[in-house]
Amino acid sequence: MIPSQDPQSSTSESGRKSSRALLFSLLLVPSLALTTVSAFAQDSVPVVTGVPRVDKLLSQMTVDEKMALIRGASEPSATNQGQAGYLTGVPRLGIPSIRMSDGPPGVLTRNPSMAETATMGVAATFSVKDAEQNGEVIAREAKSLGIDVVLEPFINIDRDITFERGYNTEGEDPVLTGVIGASLIQGIQSQGVMSQAKHYVAYDTDGSNVFVDQQALHEIYIAPFIDAVQAGVSSIMCSYNKVNGTQACGNPDMLVKILHDEVGFKGFVTSDWGAVHAANYINNGLDMEMPGPGPKDSPLAGMMYSFFTTEEPKSEPPPKFNTALLAGFLGGTLPEEPKPKPFNFGTIGAMRDAHTNFWNLRKEGKLDDATITRAAGRVLYEIDKFGYLDHPTPGQAGPKEPPVHAVEANAAVIQKTAEDAAVLLKNEDHVLPLKSSETVALIGPGAGQTVSIGTAGERSIGWPWRQIGTVQAIAKVAPEIQVTYAVEDDMTGTPIPASQWTSEDGKPGLQQMTKDGVKSTDAILDFTTKAGTALPANSAMTWDGKLNVPTTGSYWIYLQLLGAAGSIEIDGKRVAGANGMRGGVHGDTVLGGKDGLMPTTDGLDNLRTAVELTAGQHAVKVTIEGDTSNHPAQVRLAWVTPEQRKANHDAAIAAAKAAKTAVVFVWSRGKTDFVLPGNGKDYDQDKLIEEIAAVNPNTVVVLNVSQPIAMPWLSKVKGVLQMWWPGDEGGWATANILAGKTSPAGRLPFTWAKRLEDYPATNPKYPERSSKGVGGKTTFSEGVNVGYRWFDKEKIAPEFPFGFGLSYTTFAYANLKTEPAAEGGIVVEFDVKNTGPVASDEVPQIYLGRPEHKFPGEFPEHALVAFDRIHLDPGESKRVSITVPLRRLQFWSTEASKWTTATGPRAVLVGSSSRSLDLATSIDIR
């Protein structure tokens, strides 16, 4: 646990009188003189944080040394871990350097680390314990990789399911988000690692100019950050967007008035990377600029301009930013996906050519050193609080000192979380769990491998060697079930054979040329550990050849890499590539699974693209160069031809037809809007499900998605199991749920609509709510009616309500009782009984109805105020007692500018989802 940091107390010499005082007075004079001088020196140290040790260090620091605590820098290459951010510290005074790594979830550096269950899955557990244990896993991974600050949890609201980052949230409800986020923070920080909650605030849309009323701002969007502060979070990251007309990272209303003054936050505020637009943000509540200037050869050099510097700004314009260099980080479109929406770089500060920094402000008297000291003090206070002054995080560096991971302890948490997150959406005729007496066809690439992370972005990539598929796992956990497997969509493919290549000199194969100009011929491009042909570390070479295409059609081309960056050109056009973001952030190596849905079956990064090719020869050029991992370079060029795709599809349908039960695995990477990926031409997951259901009446769909999708096939299948992106151990978790070794008890952290238009942010009647907005403004005009609250207000029937989830057993609720709590909240008690044959968890949820009396504010029909997760054996009954804290009985009064208790009668409702509330009573709140 983090020790408290109470200021040291002093003992007054005047209180120590004895009969021997006179005898020893001469001896005491020198000592007393020294004590007086020492006390005077101590008193002369300006009080900045109230912690004497920290304040003394601040008094000894120069302005430039204080700057080293509030502006990002580039870590020396000898120790750099490819992490997101770095502070140099002040070695002269024993203040250590600080590394910051991306998430959530997990830890992203150049070294692959274990992949946890996706954030939406953690929220679906509705479990404080699961969230806290996931925080502990994150912290253990951080410490093993030499990381001091993890940039998580992501506690924005899943307000708009088309938001590019919505999948990273913990759902649509502020109470669920706040509780899960606070538990993650407590788990992380209990291990002595700083947590940084993000993104403050209203970063809940792709729109960059957000307007939201004060009641909704406080009750929906700020509320989870209040929980984070109460959990003791070390730091908070401000967001890219504007809030009510002012950039979030330079918004004094958000940072000073609300976060520091109202909420009482004592930690430091860090900018999102490139979210600083002006030097004076430090006067408005921002403490730290990230990532700082960065190395000059970084692909981000033209994008990131540093405002937090005391150096006189240069007159020449910053280098022009080439967005193409981000291709290796943002990844490409998979053959199954539509083209992505363009990324909005306009929110990133260095896109502004503003040559004003601290040097200018100090010269003009607009920035005093006390402000810099205050910001540095907030950072140093947390460094001291977490013990880094005494025990800096070891600087793990390179293959000579490989990380030591708590593999088994972490894996156990990841697997349990994935199982606890599983949401059973449909189970007609008890099609699940699978029966030992029947044959089962598992269909889809997500059955043979695990869709561990869905999409890479800013999270840990995971360990491909642990990502056992459900096919292999079910053979271990339930060998009595007879399983067949059909991949249907082969995501690894086969190396393009030698018979399809002609080198430039007319001979079979491809011409290889090293960086030294040495040429040779290779029959195929398959230099991998699996083939026993991996290349030396830091290899740099090209291959050129003519690809002999037998028939016209859509060819799926796969460039597969590990330990090397690379790209492929066909007929002079770049069609795929990965650069590892060398010199950048977010991990600077090419890791298995970074750019595709999954790594190859032998663990390589998998850059897959569809290319229309006519019959005949096509010029192909492949280029690689070693990344910063210093690992053997692996490269393979594979494909799946149109003919092979048809054969794979036909085999899947045949397998489904021959089996008693067909289980089809489908997926999304979170980059589609309410649809399963399918290019509408030669691959369609919705159509696949319907085709399988047409030949097998006992069809079950396993979803590896993190946002709701349309289900045109729902009435045609008997079972639907939502497994999210379950992390490295997801294959085991899925097998246990399907085989009935574990009863599903996860609950939806969002409302699953029937139509995209049913959501408040995507209803075409309200264009101002969309990311595009009206007149360049996105207005959250739905107010507090976000998610299920909107569906209740508008009386819209969802496909599945918030908090919904089936089980392999049944439960009954009874005997509801409420009474006032000691500190102003209420205590809610009720009985829950397992009335079925299977041991299982249950998630009772408490909702509070709108006040009967009128108050000057907006109130939903009912809102979640508390929940719990309990375990019950068959026939077992438990008395559940949950305390609802006072703040959840309150609303934000815009008139009074404070939290106000809505007194009088209010309904208290208890049940298993927002639309299954079996118990109801009324309480008079005073």
pLDDT tens by residue, 273-282? 999 999 999 9
pLDDT higher than 90, residue 26: no
Give the chain's radius of gyration (CA, Å): 29
Residue 348 is predicted with a pLDDT of 57
User: Distance (Å, rounded) from C-alpha 561 to C-alpha 435?
Assistant: 41
518-561 per-position pLDDT tens digit: 999 999 999 999 999 999 999 999 999 999 999 999 999 999 99
What contacts 236, CB < 8 A, 6 or more positions away?
196, 197, 198, 200, 225, 228, 229, 259, 265, 267, 268, 269, 270
pLDDT above 50 (res 897)? yes
In whole numbers, what is the pLDDT of the chain averaged over residues?
91
Q: Is the pLDDT of residue 705 over 80?
A: yes
CA–CA separation, 149 and 142 (whole Å) = 8
pLDDT band at 13 (very low <50, low <70, confident <90, very high): very low
Say how many C-beta atoms besides its own lie within 10 A of residue 330's C-beta.
13
Please give the pLDDT value at position 456: 86
**Residues with Cβ < 8 Å from 62, sequence gap 6 or more?**
none
DSSP3 helix / strand / coil % (the chain, rounded to 5): 25, 25, 50
d(CA 488, CA 708): 23
Count the neighbouring beta carbons within 10 Å of the beta carbon of residue 11: 7
Mean pLDDT of 800-814: 98
Q: What is the pLDDT of residue 885?
A: 96
Instruction: Say yes or no to pLDDT of 582 above 80.
Output: no
Angle between helices 128-144 and 174-189 (to 10 degrees): 40
Measured CA to CA, the distance from residue 271 to residue 266 in angstroms comes to 16
**CB within 8 A of 888, min separation 6: which ones?**
175, 825, 848, 865, 866
Q: Worst-scoring range by mean pLDDT, 34-38, 324-328, 731-735? A: 34-38
Is 353 buried (19+), middle (13-18) or exposed (0-12) by CB count in 10 A? exposed
Q: Do 152 and 180 meet the contact criterion of CB atoms below 8 Å apart?
A: no
Quote the pLDDT of residue 681.
Answer: 78
Distance from chain centroid for Cα 128: 18
Residue 704: φ, ψ to 5°: -110, 75
Q: How far apart are the first and last CA of the chain?
A: 37
pLDDT at 32 over 70: no
pLDDT over 50 at 16, yes or no: no
Q: What are phi and psi of 397, to 5 degrees?
A: -145, 115
Q: Average pLDDT of 737-755?
A: 98
Q: Give CA angle at 370 (369, 376), nearest 5°.
A: 90
Let me know: does 70 contact 309? Beta carbons within 8 Å: no
DSSP E strand boundaries for 660-771: 661-667, 699-704, 719-722
Q: What is the percentage of the chain residues whose pLDDT exceeds 70?
A: 89
The per-residue pLDDT for range 221-275, each reduced to its tens digit, is 999 999 999 999 999 999 999 999 999 999 999 999 999 999 999 999 999 999 9
From the list 93, 15, 13, 109, the residue with the least C-alpha distance to 56 is: 93
Please, is 778 exposed, middle or buried when counting C-beta atoms within 10 Å of its C-beta (0-12, 13-18, 19+)? buried
**CB-based contact 738:432 (threshold 8 Å):** yes
Would you call the peptide bond into 199 cis, given omega within 30 degrees of 0 as the criterion?
Answer: yes
Q: Is the pLDDT of residue 505 over 90?
A: no
Flag the least confident range among 27-41, 186-200, 705-719: 27-41
Instruction: Specify the pLDDT at position 77.
Output: 84
- Confidence check: pLDDT of 400 > 60: no
CA 626 to CA 563: how far, in whole Å? 6
Q: Which of 15-24, 308-317, 698-707 has the lowest mean pLDDT?
A: 15-24
**pLDDT, tens digit (0-9, with 9 covering 90-100), for 123-168:** 999 999 999 999 999 999 999 999 999 999 999 999 999 999 999 9
C-alpha atoms less than 13 angstroms from C-alpha of 681 in its C-beta half-sphere:
12
In tens, the pLDDT along 643-668 reads 999 999 999 999 999 999 999 999 99
Specify the pLDDT at position 331.
54
- Rounded Cα–Cα distance for residues 627 and 539 (Å): 9
Amino acid 34: pLDDT = 36
Residue 352's pLDDT is 53
Cα–Cα distance measured from residue 635 to residue 577, given in angstroms and rounded to the nearest whole number: 12
What burial class does residue 123 get, using C-beta atoms within 10 Å of its C-beta: 0-12 exposed, 13-18 middle, 19+ buried?
A: buried
The confidence band for 22, taking pLDDT boundaries of 50, 70 and 90, is very low
Q: How confident is the model at residue 7 (pLDDT cuts 50, 70, 90)?
A: very low
**pLDDT tens digits, 840-885:** 999 999 999 999 999 999 999 999 999 999 999 999 999 999 999 9
Check pLDDT > 90 for residue 402: no
- In 3D space, the residue among 180, 124, 134, 136 whose CA is nearest the CA of residue 156 turns out to be 180
